[in-house]
């Protein structure tokens, strides 16, 4: 294996088939680059002082207008137009790979749709004398702009607009006060992140895939700088659950009749670990009245919630609506592009006064749903949000701009409502809750009851649908009162294993451990689902995912190290603070990766064998439809002609077969057909609703019941007179 530590710095391959066209203007003009088409239109609408002239080239629209006597052109990208790739693509896979180049994203056939954006930017930039980056103000947006500047505009010089919303006033301010230079600290952090992620991803993924291939199986496996430690974290929890041995205990509960109202009271020994002790307490209290021994009442103040950062928003949306973290980010991005909320990729829980609290509330007031809430807050002498400890140098916490989303889906409306109410709640007064703790003596045994209810709702008024408090109001009680006991039960219970991670709780854990960033955690989690390493909402690590983790833990645990990943994240912050060169960080990471890959190579045979066992088990599970009439298994197969069908493993003795749809992604359902007991197959096709099929009975519904398809009634045609 090569021992070279310093990677060759990346270069780029450019498109060569751009159709030449006339310059957009005969006069010098400023080109403003945005990250997405929707943002380009917003920027143009905000900055134009005269009529906007749309310019369409290669099917992409740019916007030309004047401001302050200067001609401006706003042109969009579509996210990353350049990606890292191997400098020399070899015919045969091998590793390590350290020499890289930046190439247009459309070099991959799957991304040819991006080529027209590249060509448009090449075309419209002809004649521009000044460039401004108006891409998202974070390391990703800055890197997107920098690559376009240097590889399409042929310059590394430009100004930088900084904004957190697409509201008109914010965009005008961002333009008028644009930084004279590009934001190189963020650019450098982005370049470092891309190189680290690429080098880690391509090398470790190839190592795993080649090890599996050497063991006689083939499936493209992947791991990465953050993906591996995250999967290991999920596996660790699953191992804890699998190894968990429940411990029996006993709980003594009583139901006390207080003037016709039932009060639940539990023995002061919450868990009896010996049944005899619980039985003795039960016998001591049997047949005795409950005497009020003590009453302690107090009022507590509950502070308003903090404003949303992205991770907390994703967690709360999952809790209230069940949307995945990636789905939440996409919905929030759509709201941002409609100028309805601020930039969602933020780690901040702070709202600076300069965003104009009163102005936002006045605009929200125009949306009938929030009118009364805004009226209440606008009467306050001062508006001060309850801020959290987390800060983000680039953006404030997520907040509504006051603009109502114009084209919101039901899901977007849900996310928008949650953000608005959270924003309003941060300005509310503390909520007051009354808490009452009562102790009863039933014979010699002491029992406790607890009540709690809201006295003054304060901020809960604004956040009520999402602020969930258990309201338990105890009836009036006096010391030394006696009340009859309606029921006394000694309950058999067991300790429970730790809960599985959900998509919401794993995000919180990733943040706590410094795995990934606010903007990447959701996509990392989605990748684990896509690779079939994990499944289910309460996350279960698959057989293959477990095999990857256990093989690496045994032979190459550094790939799964959360501490190593956290160190790299801290390095990125150092780069962004301008205290270290990004090339130095990449060199250090390359040295570390070289050592790890050498160790992997020494054990690739053992790793491959472990992975192959799991892969074959997963393949068998994912292709077995059920039991054939002959007693063997019915499995999904592919003919020599490439046709897929269901056949029996007893072939050629058994020739039972069933046809399958030839298009669409086949996925085995957990449900079985109610008629024949075979597993139901789900078929997913592009831009079509999924449908379900039993290979014996045809179409079925989600319950496995035969589904009769409605026949289309032919339209009657009127006869000509």
Q: CB–CB of 359/419 below 8 Å?
A: no
* Residues contacting 466, CB < 8 A, separation 6+: 316, 320, 418, 421, 422
Sheet holding 431-442, edge to edge: 482-483, 290-302, 431-442, 445-456, 261-267, 248-258, 485-494
Ranges in the chain, pLDDT < 50: 1-9, 11-19, 711-712, 721
**Phi first, then psi: what are they for 444, rounded to 5°?**
-85, -5
* Residues contacting 651, CB < 8 A, separation 6+: none
State the Cα–Cα distance between residues 552 and 556, nearest whole angstrom.
5
Q: How confident is the model at residue 21, as a pLDDT?
A: 57
State the Cα–Cα distance between residues 266 and 683, nearest whole angstrom.
52
* Residues contacting 639, CB < 8 A, separation 6+: 645
**127-151 pLDDT, tens digit each:** 999 999 999 999 999 999 999 999 9
Instruction: Kindly tell me the burial class for residue 364, based on how many C-beta atoms sit within 10 Å of its own C-beta (0-12, 13-18, 19 or more).
Output: buried
DSSP-assigned letters across all residues of 516-537: S-TTTHHHHHHHHHHTTSEETT
Count CB neighbours of 428 within 10 A: 23
Closest CA to 128 of 25, 277, 267: 25
Q: How confident is the model at residue 266, as a pLDDT?
A: 97
Q: CB–CB of 521/576 below 8 Å?
A: no
State the Cα–Cα distance between residues 575 and 302, nearest whole angstrom.
40
Q: Is the peptide bond before 96 cis (omega within 30 degrees of 0)?
A: yes
Closest CA to 588 of 198, 3, 5, 8: 5
Q: Which helix (H) or strand (E) holds 106?
A: none
Report which DSSP code applies to 580: S
State the Cα–Cα distance between residues 604 and 95, nearest whole angstrom.
12
Q: Which helix (H) or strand (E) holds 305?
A: none
Q: Are strands 248-258 and 261-267 parallel, antiparallel or unpaired?
A: antiparallel
Q: Find the largest Cα–Cα distance for the chain.
A: 100
What CA dihedral angle connects 162, 166, 169 and 174, to 10 degrees?
Answer: 10
516 sits in the region (left: phi over 0; alpha: psi -120 to 50; else beta) called left
State the Cα–Cα distance between residues 126 and 111, nearest whole angstrom.
25
Report which DSSP code applies to 499: P
Report which DSSP code applies to 287: T
State the Cα–Cα distance between residues 512 and 507, nearest whole angstrom.
9
* Residues contacting 354, CB < 8 A, separation 6+: none
User: How many angstroms from the chain centroid is the CA of residue 34?
Assistant: 24
Q: How confident is the model at residue 17, as a pLDDT?
A: 44
**Phi first, then psi: what are they for 644, rounded to 5°?**
-95, 145
* Residues contacting 9, CB < 8 A, separation 6+: 583
State the Cα–Cα distance between residues 120 and 109, nearest whole angstrom.
19
Q: CB–CB of 60/74 below 8 Å?
A: no
Closest CA to 7 of 588, 596, 647: 588
Q: How confident is the model at residue 697, as a pLDDT?
A: 73
Q: How confident is the model at residue 148, as a pLDDT?
A: 98
Q: How confident is the model at residue 15, as a pLDDT?
A: 45
State the Cα–Cα distance between residues 171 and 164, nearest whole angstrom.
9
State the Cα–Cα distance between residues 31 and 52, nearest whole angstrom.
14
CB-based burial, 390-419: b 16+ in 10 Å, e otherwise: bebebbbbbbbbbbbbeebeebbebbbbbb
Count CB neighbours of 601 within 10 A: 17
Closest CA to 357 of 336, 333, 380: 380
State the Cα–Cα distance between residues 24 and 256, nearest whole angstrom.
84
What is the end-to-end Cα distance of the chain in Å, rounded? Answer: 86
Distances, alpha carbon 530 to alpha carbons 107, 311, 486, in Å? 23, 21, 54
Helix count and strand count (H, E) for the chain: 19, 25
**Phi first, then psi: what are they for 249, rounded to 5°?**
-150, 170
Q: What residues act catalytically?
A: 343
Task: Show the beta-strand stretches assigned E in 242-362.
Answer: 248-258, 261-267, 290-302
DSSP-assigned letters across all residues of 460-488: HHHHTTT-----BPPPP--TT-EE-EEEE
Q: CB–CB of 63/76 below 8 Å?
A: no
Q: CB–CB of 515/565 below 8 Å?
A: yes
């Amino acid at each position: 294996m090569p021992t070279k530590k310093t990677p060759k710095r990346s270069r780029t391959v450019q498109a060569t088939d751009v159709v030449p066209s006339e310059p957009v203007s005969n006069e010098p003009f400023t080109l403003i680059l945005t990250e997405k088409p929707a943002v380009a239109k917003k920027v143009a609408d905000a900055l134009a002082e005269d009529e906007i002239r749309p310019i369409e080239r290669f099917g992409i629209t740019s916007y030309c207008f004047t401001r302050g006597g200067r001609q401006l052109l706003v042109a969009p990208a579509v996210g990353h137009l350049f990606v890292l790739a191997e400098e020399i693509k070899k015919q045969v896979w091998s590793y390590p790979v350290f020499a890289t180049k930046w190439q247009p994203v459309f070099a991959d056939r799957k991304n040819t749709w991006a080529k027209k954006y590249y060509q448009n930017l090449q075309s419209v930039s002809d004649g521009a004398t000044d460039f401004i980056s108006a891409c998202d103000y974070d390391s990703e947006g800055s890197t997107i702009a920098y690559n376009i500047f240097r590889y399409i505009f042929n310059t590394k010089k430009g100004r930088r607009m900084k904004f957190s919303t697409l509201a008109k006033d914010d965009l005008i301010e961002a333009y008028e006060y644009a930084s004279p230079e590009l934001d190189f600290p963020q650019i450098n952090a982005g370049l470092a992140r891309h190189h680290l992620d690429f080098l880690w991803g391509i090398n470790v993924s190839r190592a795993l895939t080649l090890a599996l291939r050497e063991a006689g199986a083939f499936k493209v496996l992947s791991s990465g700088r953050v993906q591996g430690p995250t999967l290991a974290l999920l596996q660790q929890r699953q191992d804890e659950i699998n190894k968990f041995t429940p411990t029996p205990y006993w709980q003594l509960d009583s139901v006390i009749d207080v003037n016709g109202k039932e009060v639940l009271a539990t023995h002061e020994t919450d868990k009896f670990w010996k049944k005899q002790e619980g039985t003795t307490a039960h016998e001591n209290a049997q047949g005795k009245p409950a005497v009020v021994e003590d009453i302690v009442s107090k009022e507590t103040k509950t502070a308003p919630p903090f404003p949303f950062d992205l991770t907390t928003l994703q967690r709360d949306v999952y809790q209230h609506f069940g949307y995945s973290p990636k789905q939440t980010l996409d919905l929030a991005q759509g709201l941002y592009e409609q100028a309805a909320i601020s930039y969602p990729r933020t780690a901040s829980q702070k709202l600076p006064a300069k965003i104009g609290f009163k102005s936002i509330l006045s605009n929200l007031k125009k949306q009938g749903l929030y009118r009364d809430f805004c009226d209440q807050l606008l009467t306050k002498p001062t508006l001060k949000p309850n801020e959290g400890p987390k800060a983000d140098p680039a953006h404030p916490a997520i907040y509504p701009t006051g603009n109502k989303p114009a084209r919101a889906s039901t899901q977007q409306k849900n996310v928008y409502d949650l953000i608005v109410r959270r924003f309003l709640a941060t300005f509310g007064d503390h909520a007051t809750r009354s808490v009452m703790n009562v102790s009863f003596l039933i014979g010699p045994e002491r029992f406790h009851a607890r009540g709690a209810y809201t006295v003054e709702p304060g901020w809960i008024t604004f956040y009520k649908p999402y602020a969930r408090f258990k309201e338990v109001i105890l009836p009036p009680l006096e010391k030394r009162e006696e009340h009859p006991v309606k029921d006394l039960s000694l309950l058999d219970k067991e300790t429970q294993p730790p809960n599985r991670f959900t998509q919401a709780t794993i995000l919180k854990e990733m943040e706590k451990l410094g795995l990934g960033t606010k903007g990447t955690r959701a996509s990392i989690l989605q990748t684990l689902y896509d690779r079939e390493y994990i499944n289910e909402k309460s996350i279960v690590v698959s057989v293959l995912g477990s095999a990857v983790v256990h093989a690496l833990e045994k032979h190459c645990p550094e790939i799964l190290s959360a501490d190593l990943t956290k160190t790299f994240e801290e390095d990125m912050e150092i780069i962004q603070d301008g205290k270290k060169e990004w090339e130095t960080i990449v060199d250090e990471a390359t040295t570390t990766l070289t050592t790890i890959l050498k160790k992997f190579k020494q054990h690739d045979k053992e790793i491959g064998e472990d992975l192959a066992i799991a892969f074959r088990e997963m393949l068998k599970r994912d292709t077995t439809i059920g039991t054939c009439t002959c007693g063997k298994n019915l499995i999904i197969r592919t003919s020599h002609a490439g046709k897929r069908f269901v056949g029996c493993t007893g072939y050629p003795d058994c020739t039972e077969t069933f046809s399958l749809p030839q298009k669409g992604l086949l996925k085995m359902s957990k449900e079985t057909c109610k008629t024949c007991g075979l597993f139901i197959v789900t078929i997913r096709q592009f831009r079509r609703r999924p449908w379900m099929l039993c290979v014996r009975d045809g179409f079925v519904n989600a319950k496995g019941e035969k589904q009769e398809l409605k026949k289309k009634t032919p339209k009657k045609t009127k006869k000509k007179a």
